[in-house]
Amino acid sequence: MKITLTAVRVDLGAVGGHLQPSEKIVSAVRDTIKEKTDDLLIDSWIDFTGDDITILCTHEAGKENPEIRKHLWNGFEEGAAAAEEQGLYGVGQDIRDAGVTGAVKGLGPAMAEMEFEERPNETFLVFAVDKAVPGAFNLPFYLAFTDPMHCPGLMLSPRMRKGFRLTVMDVLYKEYDREIVLDAPEDLYNLAALLREQNRYAIRRIESRGTDEQALAASTIRMSNIAGKIMGKDDPVAIARVQDPFPSSGEVVAPFSIGPFVGGFMRGCHNGPLMPVPLSTKVSYFDGPPVVSCAAFGLRNGRLTPPIDVFDHPLWDHVRSRLAAKTLEIRRQGFFGNAMQPFETIHYGGLVNILRDLDERFEIMRPPRD
């Protein structure tokens, strides 16, 4: 049975600023999406991480299906209407220009889609990130799919011996999708050279070189068919199929214990460690820190099992304590150095205007002539 998984992240408004969507928003989206279950959709699941809602749908309509996207958009509109009724902050931020409060990037929902023949024991993970750029997944997924120090299956599983094929997208190229396909292990150094630059390059897709099956989809996909325009999106979502011929669940989630520094913290202008958190976790300190949740599912004939909350485990409590200390340490630097994003990636009008005004006040001090 060929199944399509569609996962979306969307910011429709939140309580207390950018902290958490209200239950009324989540319920409005859930009720609207479920109206098409057993008709357009086979199954669906809705949750939140930070102030963005995560929607997962299963269906047989294929990727980039206009009916699916229209139905999702209807759910977004109902959620935004609920936020407006409650007077919440940033109403419809990802679907209405008027909802954006100060930033001129990050507009539009994030979507990851994958179509495949369902395995007899199909299992997959859905990762949802808040307060981070699409490249936030670069290091964990690079390690999970290419490094035997983190993924011993590359040595131990015969069907993983050939490695994986990674598609990397240049997210700053505006006119069209610009991407490159690189093979691991042959292109490991080339991958590292690109993926270190999280603000420009992001993993879009990973495939098994042994079976040619898709293992991962991440939300660098453009949403141009939804609102009649191309919209980029921070706060990414990703779908990772796991277990043979792919890495195991544990191999994919283990690199998230590193908590790499990622961009997107506080107003999208600061760096902070990516903290693995349980499902339905709000953000708080400095509108963060950057967080990632993970839900594990089984799938049979397009029907989802109830999710397992992967990061809700005693070991991850220890990881979170360590990353909280890491967060507080970098925040001691305030605005200085790599505590903030480089100027070329900051799009808040205030700083842009300050530097533009100051530029006119600079003087060129020419040396005196003899």
* pLDDT tens figures, 171-207: 888 788 899 999 999 999 999 999 999 988 999 999 9
What does the pLDDT read at residue 99? Answer: 39
What does the pLDDT read at residue 232? Answer: 46
97 falls in which pLDDT band (50, 70, 90)? low
369 falls in which pLDDT band (50, 70, 90)? confident
Is a pLDDT exceeding 60 seen at residue 233? Answer: no
365 domain-assigned: no
Is a pLDDT exceeding 70 seen at residue 17? Answer: yes
What does the pLDDT read at residue 223? Answer: 35
Q: Global pTM?
A: 0.93
Return the amino acid letter for 350.
G
Specify the higher pLDDT residue, 100 or 76. Answer: 76
Question: How do 164-170 and 201-208 pair as beta strands?
Answer: antiparallel
363 domain-assigned: no
Domain count, the chain: 1
290 domain-assigned: yes
Report pLDDT digits (tens) over 136-147: 999 999 999 999
370 domain-assigned: no
Region 56-63 average pLDDT: 97
95 domain-assigned: yes
What mean pLDDT, rounded, does the chain reach?
Answer: 91
Specify the higher pLDDT residue, 14 or 104. Answer: 14
359 domain-assigned: no
What does the pLDDT read at residue 355? Answer: 87
197 domain-assigned: yes
Is a pLDDT exceeding 70 seen at residue 247? Answer: yes
Is a pLDDT exceeding 80 seen at residue 287? Answer: yes
Is a pLDDT exceeding 80 seen at residue 167? Answer: yes
> Mean pLDDT lowest for which of 128-132, 226-230, 308-312, 359-363?
226-230
Region 10-21 average pLDDT: 95
117 domain-assigned: yes
Q: How many residues does the chain have?
A: 370
What does the pLDDT read at residue 104? Answer: 32
Structural domain span for residue 36 = 2-354
Specify the higher pLDDT residue, 98 or 48. Answer: 48
- How large a percentage of the chain has pLDDT more than 70? 92
Q: Which residues contact 141 (CB under 8 A, 6 or more apart)?
A: 203, 206, 216, 218, 238, 240, 252, 255
Is a pLDDT exceeding 90 seen at residue 86? Answer: yes
101 falls in which pLDDT band (50, 70, 90)? very low
